[in-house]
Structure 1
């Protein structure tokens, strides 16, 4: 009974319901039909207070669902800085990867989550991690973007964090070449200023 209540309360952001379920002995790692834990449901819906309660109670930030999403990985998709901060005390594994082989930084770069990228780069996350597609966060900020201001800022942040501007994709195409091919002049200028060729 309390397990079901915890899943429902976490999914809807019902903090008092979460506290009550935990007090009643609910399993913090109970799974729904898609193997999502309460913390993953809260993370995906950006219910920060609920996540804080679950983290304080000892919930696992790395528990994967049936799509290999975890509470931590989902923060890179949603771009929630508040959720990132809520999960850090649980010491998430920053090397854990999603179904595409990417760490949380990579989808954040693709989606243009500037504030998230700025914040996650303060952790020990690997700025040059390569996913199954052969792309880093820097490459995704170019290849899967419109070259606009948000992605330009992400490129600036990645360069400042020490990203390897010459690291090519799986086909040997460099970030600069991708930027030039797409007529992303501002990004190309940033890469050249950082020594890219």
Structure 2
């Protein structure tokens, strides 16, 4: 891969990793009310505050709601309680992540399943890249999460502001290894459009060939694209 492309990929990976910010220890220490209960997984306190009409969608300094905090902390019972009480499952925090994308990036299949079962959408446009939870999961090679999102109706062919789809990100931001291969396989089997190109007109097949990802090349060639 040309040096310029390697540098670009490294920058994008670093940016993606730093964009989603979990509550810091200092922030957690300052939490009160539903944010504190969500972080600790204190279901009894959560239910008491809900009964007292606490603001289900209150924001911390990063724009995180109690639902976002519970998702970062993997507190599934609290997530269910907040959802059942009417918390808005579609809200984005300051870096434009929703709870579904937070769970997807964390490769947290159990929390993601709880969110989807509660009615959260896998179709939202999220992040500074105008992407989706599916694109984020494909980028990271979270193949199990990718399959969950596909089953939940995530848009297969959404193009983010880098002009990349989930298929393209599984190649250009992946390592060509088993998890990214399984991710690409899931997208192919689901019927993702393999003709969509990056902004330079490169197809997924061309991108896989340029990186020497033989297994991905074979998959794309077999798919007839």
Give TM class, smaller chain: over 0.9
Residue 218 of structure 2 corresponds to 189
Residue 108 of structure 1 corresponds to 137
The whole-number CA distance in structure 2 between the counterparts of 1:68 and 1:162 is 28
The whole-number CA distance in structure 2 between the counterparts of 1:188 and 1:12 is 46
Residue 57 of structure 1 corresponds to 85
Q: Tell me whether 1:47 sits opposite 2:75 in the alignment.
A: yes
The whole-number CA distance in structure 2 between the counterparts of 1:109 and 1:193 is 20
Q: CA deviation at 1:90?
A: 4.0
The whole-number CA distance in structure 1 between the counterparts of 2:46 and 2:197 is 46
Q: Tell me whether 1:21 sits opposite 2:49 in the alignment.
A: yes
CA contact under 8 A between 2:108 and 2:145: conserved in structure 1?
A: yes
Q: How many aligned positions are there?
A: 194
Runs of 4+ in 1 over 3 A off after TM superposition: none
The whole-number CA distance in structure 2 between the counterparts of 1:128 and 1:77 is 19
TM-score by length of 2: 0.82
Residue 127 of structure 1 corresponds to 156
The whole-number CA distance in structure 1 between the counterparts of 2:209 and 2:113 is 36
The whole-number CA distance in structure 1 between the counterparts of 2:200 and 2:74 is 37
**Over aligned residues, Cα RMSD in angstroms?**
1.5
* Unpaired segments ≥5 residues, structure 2: 1-30
CA contact under 8 A between 1:60 and 1:90: conserved in structure 2?
A: no
* Unpaired segments ≥5 residues, structure 1: none
Query: Greater shift after overlay, 95-104 or 145-154?
Result: 95-104
The whole-number CA distance in structure 1 between the counterparts of 2:43 and 2:198 is 44
